[in-house]
Structure 1
Amino acid sequence: MSTENFNNLAAFVAVAQERSFTRAAAKLGVSQSALSQTIKGLEERLGIRLLTRSTRSVSPTEAGDRLLATLAPRFEEIEQELGALSALREKPAGTIRITAGEHPATSVLQPALKRFLPDHPDIHVEIVVDYGLTDIVAQGYDAGVRMGEQVAKDMIAMRIGPDMRMAVVGTPDYFANRGMPRQPQDLTGHNCINIRLPTYGGLYAWEFEKGGQELRVRVEGQVVVNQAVVRLASVLDGLGLAYVPEDQILEHVAAGRLIRVLEDWCEPFPGYHLYYPSRRHASPAFALLLEALRYR
């Protein structure tokens, strides 16, 4: 197979997997117009349409689906073998791409990288903050970070952080005007800062547990957010009660800027795990990073 044909097929796989010329072009490092011409030329040479294009989306045709099912596993095998070749290098090197939410990125990954990267100048780490349950294989990531219970069964999961607790907090002024909830059900009468779920767009039901009793409370309020930094800023501004990871508010509670309530209903739960495909060949660089992130 000529280099041109190989590159054209690789371009088709990228577009078919990304379902977007824009994202595929960025992934391949080419212009969108050049990528469009490449796919058009491939279709003309094959004499069949591989992709259905609309103003908002791209999807494979029946022929495209068949070709993608054949090519994608083979390209993945090639990438894995190329990655495995790095084991022949004397010094671990390469780029490791990780997807994670904002909280684990700042509370777990960043402190570990601060210790790890200075000793390994040839290793590069790209962290992409994403709040959805990303398909790391389809999106080209080496690993992802999620709560333990959110990791898919076909992935290898490694714990990278301690148990976590959530906290319900508000400002002293807020509680002076509205009173304090004594049990989770009381939250329905309070102005609460809601959390928009990334995957399906619904609102997150606050979770509580005490003595084996589990409760999920759907709260209401004037503010809905999807980022931790905005949620924390909103509660500090007195816009309502917030449900946040404990480590984010301890300093503010100690300083008297926030008051914590329902603490006896917020029990610890398993913290963050790094996960990656079970069939992945662990390069020396990836193996070193795993050890640096492993929770002990």
Structure 2
Amino acid sequence: MSATDPFAGLSSFLAVAREGSFSAAAIRLGVSPAAVSQAVKVLEARLGTPLFLRTTRHVGLSEAGAALLARVGPAATEIAAAISDTVDMAGEPAGLLRITVPRIAVPLVVEPVVPALRRSHPRVAIEVSVDDAAVDLPARGFDAGIRIGELVDEDMIAVRLSRDIAWSVVASPDYLATHGHPHVPEDLVRHEAIRYRFPTSGTVYRWEFERDGRAQSFDPPGGIIVNDGALLASFARAGLGLAYAADITVEAELRDGRLVRVLERFSPTSPGLFLYFPSRAQTQPKLRAFIDVALEVLRRTGVRR
């Protein structure tokens, strides 16, 4: 290889690899798609191998591209963090904070915290990616993520954002007056369930229960399937069936009686929502600012007790 700048084209390569699209990468980098395409072509020519497998509808990594991303991605994230930290040391927290969150965290954490963060730290920009799937933070260029505690890798630093979650079967009083109350999980076969399909995997969630210390799961019948928790709760309030939900997401409805819990003695609990990040990221002032604001806001809203 010649004395060419070894970093030439890498920012374009990383953006395309992470976004899965040349046009999306161009938007992220603030350049034209043609410029991104040309930079990648030059890099591929310099390396002597294609880095992407392109079709009219899809851009995927080649074997060589995947290998390059596995090694360069974490290093690039570290370099970006180092530059951001250096900038932050000059004054108040600043820079782009990229976080990945599941849908359940959007109304509970993201919606109340982000406005407060922007008001108190206007130099901190934030990018929120909503994704229920597990995410490799360094490989995807995220500073931090939010997930239910049991899904956080042990090598990550985790900060509790919410109390533990009780998973409950809920329904409207009208539905229960018409169809009766289920008393054991097996009664679900005689009821109408509003079911949830995971957006990423496409699988339909099996309702989980605990009985005599043993875990059980059921796939109840139902004519409605959604992939959004807010819509799930809305249909339950409308009396269209039973729904399986985290108590923390339907707390207001349970409090004012629009929804009622059933099968409570079989309801399992799981650790609440946690912010997690690699140990090396904890020194970033922008991340520290997010944590401080989040803990204060979530105490006020009652999500964290």
Which category describes the TM-score, using the shorter chain as reference length? 0.7 to 0.9
The Cα of 1:72 is off from its aligned counterpart by 3.2
User: Equivalent residues in 2 for 1:25-36 (5 A)?
Assistant: 25-36=26-37
| Residues 214 and 63 of structure 1, relative CA distance in 2, 3 Å threshold | closer
Structure 1 position 173 matched with structure 2 position 174: yes
**Cα pair 2:84 2:94 within 8 Å, conserved:** no
**Cα pair 1:236 1:258 within 8 Å, conserved:** yes
CA distance in 2 between counterparts of 1:13 and 1:254 reads: 47
Other-structure match for 1:57:
58
User: Equivalent residues in 2 for 1:131-150 (5 A)?
Assistant: 131-150=132-151
Q: Name the amino acid aligned to 1:8.
A: G
Q: How much identity, in percent, do the aligned residues show?
A: 39
CA distance in 2 between counterparts of 1:239 and 1:224 reads: 11
Moved more, 225-234 or 23-32: 23-32
The Cα of 1:175 is off from its aligned counterpart by 2.0
Aligned-pair Cα RMSD in Å: 2.7
CA distance in 2 between counterparts of 1:17 and 1:169 reads: 39
Partner of 1:128, secondary structure, is: strand
**Please, which runs of 5 or more residues in structure 2 have no aligned partner?**
296-303
CA distance in 1 between counterparts of 2:81 and 2:277 reads: 13
**Cα pair 1:86 1:284 within 8 Å, conserved:** no
**Cα pair 1:15 1:24 within 8 Å, conserved:** yes
**Cα pair 2:150 2:270 within 8 Å, conserved:** no
CA distance in 2 between counterparts of 1:182 and 1:125 reads: 46
CA distance in 1 between counterparts of 2:290 and 2:252 reads: 30
The Cα of 1:272 is off from its aligned counterpart by 0.5
CA distance in 1 between counterparts of 2:124 and 2:169 reads: 39
Q: Name the amino acid aligned to 2:177.
A: A
CA distance in 2 between counterparts of 1:194 and 1:86 reads: 47
Q: Name the amino acid aligned to 1:137.
A: P
Structure 1 position 158 matched with structure 2 position 159: yes
**Cα pair 2:210 2:266 within 8 Å, conserved:** yes
Partner of 1:243, secondary structure, is: strand
CA distance in 1 between counterparts of 2:49 and 2:257 reads: 68
The Cα of 1:245 is off from its aligned counterpart by 2.0
Moved more, 279-288 or 37-46: 37-46
Other-structure match for 1:228:
229
| Residues 192 and 276 of structure 1, relative CA distance in 2, 3 Å threshold | same
| Residues 63 and 216 of structure 1, relative CA distance in 2, 3 Å threshold | closer
Q: Name the amino acid aligned to 2:253.
A: H
Other-structure match for 1:8:
9
CA distance in 2 between counterparts of 1:222 and 1:280 reads: 45
Other-structure match for 2:189:
188
TM-score normalised to structure 1 length: 0.86
Q: Name the amino acid aligned to 1:240.
A: G
Other-structure match for 1:212:
213
**Cα pair 2:144 2:275 within 8 Å, conserved:** yes
Other-structure match for 2:106:
105
Moved more, 132-141 or 179-188: 132-141
Count residues with an aligned counterpart: 295
CA distance in 2 between counterparts of 1:225 and 1:251 reads: 21
Structure 1 position 81 matched with structure 2 position 82: yes
The Cα of 1:162 is off from its aligned counterpart by 0.9
CA distance in 1 between counterparts of 2:49 and 2:169 reads: 58
Partner of 1:127, secondary structure, is: strand
Partner of 1:138, secondary structure, is: helix
CA distance in 1 between counterparts of 2:233 and 2:202 reads: 20
Partner of 2:164, secondary structure, is: coil
Other-structure match for 2:262:
261
The Cα of 1:230 is off from its aligned counterpart by 0.8
CA distance in 2 between counterparts of 1:239 and 1:198 reads: 22
Q: Name the amino acid aligned to 2:146.
A: V
The Cα of 1:225 is off from its aligned counterpart by 0.8
**Cα pair 1:162 1:271 within 8 Å, conserved:** yes
Other-structure match for 1:244:
245
Structure 1 position 90 matched with structure 2 position 108: no
**Please, which runs of 5 or more residues in structure 1 have no aligned partner?**
none
| Residues 11 and 264 of structure 1, relative CA distance in 2, 3 Å threshold | same
| Residues 140 and 241 of structure 1, relative CA distance in 2, 3 Å threshold | same
